[in-house]
Structure 1
Amino acid sequence: MGNLNVVVAGSNNFASEVGKKGTVTDMTFFELKKGNDSVTLIEPTKYPEKLSSLFYSVSMAEYAILVVEKIDSFLGETIVMIDSLGIDKGWMVLRNYIQPEQLKPLLAGTSLENYEPLEDDPIKTREMLIDLACNTKKEAGNGTCGSCPIDSHFNVKGVGTVVLGSVIDGYFKVHDKMQIYPIKKEVILKSIQKHDIDAADGIKGDHVGLALRGIESDELDRGYVATTDPSIKMTRKVTAKATLVKFWPNPIKDGMVIHIGHWMQMVPCRVTSSKDDGDFRSPMLEMEFDSDIIHKPGDKAMMMYLEGGKLRVVGSFILE
């Protein structure tokens, strides 16, 4: 079975012509399936109003389709987000007579530099995505444990508590015992569905619905993590060397309030100390989060400043 998660950025009418509409929050999911192969298209529906909508959508994806309808600050911010999260495989759809040469300066040196042109044709796009999914066979990662950040949760009559999300790492199977972070509550994984079909396991990259025994929906929240991974930890304070994006114009100041993005979490954070050796784009930061960040050691976290005007993506650092 092949599966592919694709963020569709830059347009709110492209994905709807390609896939079947599914779950709607601040993101909209569209599904495409043929035989055992499937594609999940993720649209950041509330962007640019909500930067979190774009961050979550890109974070869940392995592949990107960038639809360019006009060249403006939001296109620039979208490129910076995709580049910062390292998605180097994708296509570009150019509309309104925009030419590839107009985008070259924006894409130079980014992970989008080698994105291939894609014809604005839903039928051909559908065929190409299914072919791509067919050749994207999932592997179990570390093979022994896995994690699923929770996007949404609800009760289903006759089933119980169900959560939706994408398997971010590793592997888990039906009947596994899982821990729910940050509340550290043990649950049993009753069943797994992929695209409304029962499955025996969840593998990195799968978009899944998990039925959980031992917890109620109202105990959960977006950003919680269901995991079998013992290395998962929670962090409230961090000292780390950050890397700011090259377009970020100003140094990070003591007392600055930014948001830290990781998996399906967007947590306010206060910078308690910022020092650099003359290069303000490589500062050593001390930060205190408003709530715990759930993560694996070595994960990248994104820094965002929601009052940043035309660019709200600041940079990144590593969570130890």
Structure 2
Amino acid sequence: MANLTVAVFGPAGYAKDLGKKGTSTDITFYNLKKGAHTVTFIEPTRYPERLAPLFYAATLADAAVVVVDALNATFGEYLLMLQAAGVKKGYFVLRNYIAPDQIRPLLKGTLLEGYECVEDDLVDLRERLLEQTEQTAIERSLADPKKTCVIPIDHFFNVRGIGTVILGCVADGHLRKHDNLKVLPTAKTALVRSIQKHDEDFEEADAGDRVGLALKNVEAEELDRGYVLTNDSSLRCATSVTGTLDLVPFWKTPITEGMVLHVGHWMQFIPSRVTSAEADGRSVKISLELEKDLVYMPGSKAVVTYLEGGNLRVAGTLTIS
């Protein structure tokens, strides 16, 4: 079974006709299955009231569907979030007589230049995404296998008769039933009792899979969104980080000491305060003090946002040292 995770940015509920509704909180999941392939759609339910759901949907995504009803500030924020999160594949669903030539100048020089403009045809869109799932499965099968795994937690709860269950997407590596995984940033270790993918039991899971895991040796009350299950010893936990922040186009607000920025990485969205900043053109050498531990791999990228930025809240992409 191969899975493709797709962020859907547009009118609320657009994805309800693409798949069957699943978990719904500040982000809502819809699931499509055909044969051996599945597509997981994610909508940022609480956006634009909150920016975090837009980040969560983008950070989980292998691809995006952007419904274009108007060329406004919301559309611009969609583009900046997808660019900062590094979502390279996707589709623009053009409506209200908006033509491809109207949006192409906005995409020049960005990762989104390769997105395809399509008509508002849900049947055709589903088929395109299922074909992309098959291609993604081929690409993943050719990648070097890893013995370690990384699974950021997006939902967690207690199930009567089963115990602690978490939901998440395998961000990297390979997972097996009965693996022992650290629960970062805590000192706990959890045993994987069972693995489900789209309500079916499996012995293993790979990068890109959407999983539900039953865990032993950890209680749901000890977990939080953004915690990471892993057996990769190279992951770090820190409340102070440094790195290079590459600013998005049109960003004009100086990044200064004392500014409060939010750092988004995997399913973490953490407030931080700038302790030092040195600008060099469109890049800033920056040090941050975070409100709580950030779990990350050295050299990984995070999305930086400034919630006081008005219509321009996505600041850029931070490469963590």
Q: TM-score range by the shorter chain?
A: over 0.9
Q: Is residue 2:35 matched to residue 1:14? A: no
More helix by share: 2
* Aligned equivalent of 2:276: 273
Q: Deviations over 1:238-276 (max 9, x none)?
A: 232221112111210111111111010111111111223
Give 1:70's aligned residue: 70
Do 1:141 and 1:170's aligned partners in 2 also have CA atoms closer than 8 Å? no
Give ranges in structure 2 of 5+ residues lacking alignment.
none
Describe the superposition over 1:284-309 as per-residue Cα deviations: whole angstroms up to 9, x where unpaired. Answer: 21211111100111110111100100
Name 2:313's counterpart in structure 1: 312
C-alpha displacement of 1:119: 2.2
SS at match of 1:276: strand
2-side partners of 1:302 and 1:18: how far apart? Answer: 28
Report deviation, 1:13.
2.9
Aligned partner of 2:108 in structure 1 is 108
**Which residue matches 1:51?**
51
Amino acid at match of 1:179: K
**Higher mean displacement: 59-68 or 121-130:** 121-130
Quick one: distance in 1 between partners of 2:127 and 2:278?
Answer: 51
Trace 1:222-261 onto structure 2 (pairs within 5 A). 222-261=225-264
Segment of structure 1 superposing worse, 132-141 or 146-155: 132-141
2:149 aligned residue: 146
Q: Describe the SS at the equivalent of 1:79.
A: helix
Normalised by the size of structure 2, how large is the TM-score?
0.96
Q: Secondary structure at the match of 2:226?
A: coil
CA contact (8 A) 2:244 2:320 kept: no
Q: Does 1:176 align with 2:186?
A: no
CA distance in 2, matches of 1:218, 1:142: 33
Q: CA 1:39/1:147 → structure 2, altered by over 3 Å: closer, same or farther? A: same
Partner of 1:156: 159
Q: Show the counterpart of 1:291.
A: 292
Deviation string 1:117-143 (CA, Å, 9 cap, x unpaired) is: 222122222222222223321447542
Is this contact kept in 2: 1:3–1:133, CA < 8 A?
yes
CA RMSD of aligned residues (A): 1.3
Output one character per residue of 1:94-120: Cα deviation in whole Å (capped at 9) or x when no partner: 111111111122111111112112221
Cα offset for 1:202?
1.7
* Paired letter, 2:198: H
**Whole-angstrom distance in 2 between the partners of 1:54 and 1:19:** 19
Structure 2 residue matching 1:109: 3-state secondary structure = coil
How far apart in 1 are the matches of 2:18 and 2:216? 35
What's the secondary structure of 2:113's corresponding residue?
coil
Question: What is the CA–CA distance in structure 2 between the aligned matches of 1:202 and 1:36, rounded to whole Å?
Answer: 14
Q: CA–CA distance in 2 between the matches of 1:133 and 1:35?
A: 12
Give unpaired runs (5+ residues) of structure 1: none
Q: TM-score, normalised by structure 1?
A: 0.96
42-51 or 16-25: bigger deviation: 42-51
Aligned to 2:88: 88
User: Cα distance 1:36–1:117, how it changes in 2: closer, same or farther (>3 A)?
Assistant: same
Report the number of matched residues: 318
Q: Structure 2: how far apart are the matches of 1:189 and 1:270?
A: 36
Q: What letter matches 1:217 in structure 2?
A: A
**8 A Cα contact 1:141 1:171, kept in partner:** no
Where 1:64 maps in the other structure, the secondary structure is strand
Does the CA contact (< 8 Å) of 1:69 and 1:98 recur in 2?
yes
Hey, what's the Cα distance between the residues in 2 that align with 1:141 and 1:43? Answer: 31
Q: In structure 2, what is the equivalent of residue 29 of structure 1? A: 29
**Alpha-carbon separation, structure 1, partners of 2:125 and 2:105:** 26
Percent sequence identity over aligned pairs: 48
